[in-house]
Amino acid sequence: MQPIHIASSTEIRVDSDEVIDAEVWPEGSLEVLSQVEVEQLRSQGEHGLYTILRRCILAVLNSGGCTDDAREILAKHKDFSVGFIQQDRGLKVTIKSAPASAFVDGVMIRGIRELVFAVLRDIVFTHNEIRESARFDLQTSENITNAVFHIVRNARLLEVPSEPKLVVCWGGHAISRDEYEYTKKVGYELGLRALNVCTGCGPGAMKGPMKGATIGHAKQRIRDGRYIGITEPGIIAAESPNPIVNSLVIMPDMEKRLEAFVRVGHGIVVFPGGVGTAEEILYVLGILLHPDNRHLPMPLIMSGTRSSEAYFRQINEFIGETLGPEAQGRYKIIIDDAEAVARAMLAGLAEVKQFRKQNGDAYYYNWRLKIDHEFQIPFEASHEAMAALQIAEDMPVHLLAANLRKAFSGIVSGNVREDAILSIEELGPYEITGSARIMGLLDRLLAAFVKQGRMKLAADRYSPCYRVKA
């Protein structure tokens, strides 16, 4: 079949109802690449970027998929490929066997097209400017924070002048319908108050607040609403970016992703989730419990429907029994009241603005926030690393939070990352050891997540990737 020419910017060939071949010109970012950069993207060798690029672009094109099994997605689209044509007037990307859901009448959806080139932008920039340039010593806290700043600045997330009005929303992708509808209500109330939304960019509690905020912004005639998605290559296949995202950034790893959330966001709302959400909660609490941050304002609200009240009660009890009452004092729990969440967040953001104004701090990036090196070192989940985690009663509370966070991060990897899943199939579940009391609390919390179907979308056939031992 001969290519069909449409709108002079895209030529497509439709092979079937399920996959499409396309040639796409960049839009929004990265219109020009050097020959060296193009060769890096094409290369499948040890130092090449093709494998990570293919994975991330497939995830973007698979937006709206109904599985969180990365291996299933990659196997289903085993013929998917990406190519590059470097021309005098710029770069053209060829895509073969792409999911047809990314196209309308054979033309790639514009928002998805923008996200495809955001992937290219971030992968090229991170590789050449962060990892290979020798500008950043990624073994030191200061340089890691500086690297995160450069990545988000290059992605145009930072606005000047700015106001403290970016709300980070965390929560699970495997949530019930009523929980999802509630996240939309909260997003709507935030949008009515001219607040913007930043999430992990996937489905469920990451999509709902954005969807609600679009309606709130529309009613207030806000035409520049921001729906920011921050992800990383290890989980993007399992949590494909939702199509509402209008600013996407791919961070190099989970730790830099989490740091980006707390550096660019001004307040946080946590919806029901599973181990990934628990990881995020422990991350932010561990940071806020650092002695240098104890007087630094950052509104943190946990909220959900009446049916999810038990979830937050379990989280609150676990935090109280492990990190203590000071940690519990750093957040509010608001059940089934979207308006109250938005009002409390607005009041908290006023405190943030006053604090930063008094201290001469930037509104667009939280430089003052102290993040201990233990929260910045990439944690590569493996049987050895999980078994070696120190989880003891006598640890400084912010470091205990750091290691508990790593335990949850490892379980997330065991649930969704194909390399971790293969390792577990070969060697058995990860083993987590530590204080008998804390291990008992952890085992009880994880069992509740399994019972409530919060581990994976296919919860009816979930097999734990971990074993808790005292």
Alpha helices per DSSP H over 107-140: 110-125
Q: Is 84 a residue whose pLDDT tops 90? A: no
Reference 176, options 62, 306, 268; nearest CA is 306
CATH number at residue 319: 3.40.50.450
Residues 248 and 343 in one domain: yes
Kind plus residue range of the DSSP H or E element containing 309: helix 309-322
Cα–Cα distance between 231 and 244 in angstroms, integer?
Answer: 14
Query: How far are the Cα atoms of 174, 185, 207 from residue 338, in angstroms, in the given order?
Result: 20, 6, 16
C-alpha to C-alpha distance for 126 and 130, rounded to whole angstroms: 5
- Indicate if the pLDDT at residue 321 is higher than 80: yes
Which burial class, exposed, middle or buried, applies to 328 when counting CB atoms under 10 A from its CB (0-12, 13-18, 19+)?
Answer: middle
Q: Answer yes or no: is 142 within a domain.
A: no
Residue of 174, 392, 169 whose CA lies nearest to 284: 169
User: Whole-angstrom Cα distance, residue 338 to residue 315?
Assistant: 20
Has residue 14 been placed in a domain? Answer: yes
Q: Judge if 59 and 166 occupy the same domain.
A: no
Of 108, 135, 162, the residue at which a domain comes to its end is 135
> Which is higher by pLDDT, 23 or 155?
155
Residues 48 and 22 in one domain: yes
Kind and range of the H or E run holding 276: helix 275-288
Mean pLDDT for 387-395 is: 93
φ, ψ (nearest 5 deg) of residue 382 = -155, 170
What would the mean pLDDT of 334-338 be, rounded to a whole number?
A: 97
Count of alpha carbons within 13 angstroms of residue 239, beta-carbon side: 30
Q: Which of 34-43, 147-156, 205-214, 454-463 has the lowest mean pLDDT?
A: 454-463
Asked if residue 151 has pLDDT above 60, the reply is yes
Q: What token pair was written down for 303?
A: 């909220």
* pLDDT at residue 6, as a whole number: 31
> Does residue 137 surpass a pLDDT of 50?
yes
Residue 369 and residue 416 in one domain? yes
Range of the domain at 424: 149-470
Cα separation, 7 vs 182, in Å, equals: 40
Sheet holding 19-24, edge to edge: 4-6, 10-14, 19-24, 90-99, 81-87
Q: Indicate the average pLDDT of the chain.
A: 88
What residues does 431 pair with on adjacent strands?
A: 467
Domain boundary among 110, 135, 160: 135
For residue 9, what pLDDT is reported?
41
Mean pLDDT lowest for which of 23-37, 281-295, 311-325? 23-37
Pairing of strands 166-170, 196-199: parallel
Q: Which residue has the tokens 């599973």?
A: 274
pTM value surpassing 0.85: yes
Specify if 122 maps to a domain: yes
- Looking at the predicted structure, is the pLDDT value of residue 413 above 80? yes
Cis bond before residue 161 (omega within 30° of 0): yes
Q: What is the CATH number of the domain that holds 77?
A: 3.30.1850.10
How much is the average pLDDT of 299-315?
94
Angle CA 440–444–450, to nearest 5: 145
Share of the chain above pLDDT 90, in %: 59
Residue whose tokens read 């946590």: 270
Domain boundary, last residue among 135, 164, 186: 135
Dihedral sign, Cα of residue 454, residue 457, residue 458, residue 462: negative
Domain contains 143: no
Are 283 and 363 in the same domain? yes
Q: How buried is residue 427: exposed, middle or buried, by Cβ count under 10 Å (0-12/13-18/19+)?
A: exposed
**Helices and strands in the chain, H and E counts:** 17, 16
Shared-domain flag, residues 83 and 212: no
Given a cut of 60, is residue 31 above it in pLDDT? Answer: no
Q: Are 106 and 227 in the same domain?
A: no
> Per-residue pLDDT averaged across 163-169, rounded?
96
Q: Which two tokens stand for residue 20?
A: 């499409």
Confidence of residue 199 (pLDDT cuts 50, 70, 90): very high
82 and 221 in a single domain? The answer is no
Structural domain contains residue 140: no
Q: Determine how β-strand 247-250 pairs with β-strand 81-87.
A: unpaired
Residue 235 located in a structural domain: yes
What's the confidence (pLDDT) of residue 5?
A: 33
Regarding whether 90 and 165 lie in a shared domain, the answer is: no
Q: Which two tokens stand for residue 36?
A: 């060296």
Return the structure tokens found at 149: 């700043």
Comparison of pLDDT for 5 and 225, the residue scoring more: 225
CB of 243 within 8 A of CB of 122? no
pLDDT tens digits for range 240-279: 888 899 999 999 999 999 999 999 999 999 999 988 899 9
The reported pLDDT for the residue numbered 40 is 79
In a domain, residue 29? The reply is: yes
- For residues 54 and 78, state if they share a domain: yes
Closest CA to 400 of 314, 290, 310: 290
State residue 331's pLDDT score.
97
The yes-or-no verdict on residue 386 having pLDDT over 70 is yes
Is the model's pLDDT at 24 over the cut of 80?
A: yes
Residue 293 sits in the same domain as residue 425: yes
Residue 66 pLDDT:
59
Residues 77 and 211 in one domain: no
Q: What's the pLDDT at 16?
A: 43
Question: Residue 168: beta bridge partners?
Answer: 198, 268
Residues of the chain with pLDDT > 70: what percent? 91
pLDDT band at 70 (very low <50, low <70, confident <90, very high): low
Let me know if residue 349 belongs to a domain. Answer: yes
When pLDDT is cut at 50, 70 and 90, the band that residue 48 belongs to is confident
**Of 290, 286, 285, the residue nearest 330 (C-alpha):** 285
Q: How confident is the model at residue 469 (pLDDT cuts 50, 70, 90)?
A: confident
Sign of CA dihedral 58, 199, 305, 439: positive
Among 170-174, 188-192, 247-251, 328-332, the minimum mean pLDDT is found in 170-174
> Residue 44 pLDDT more than 50?
yes
Domain count within the chain: 2
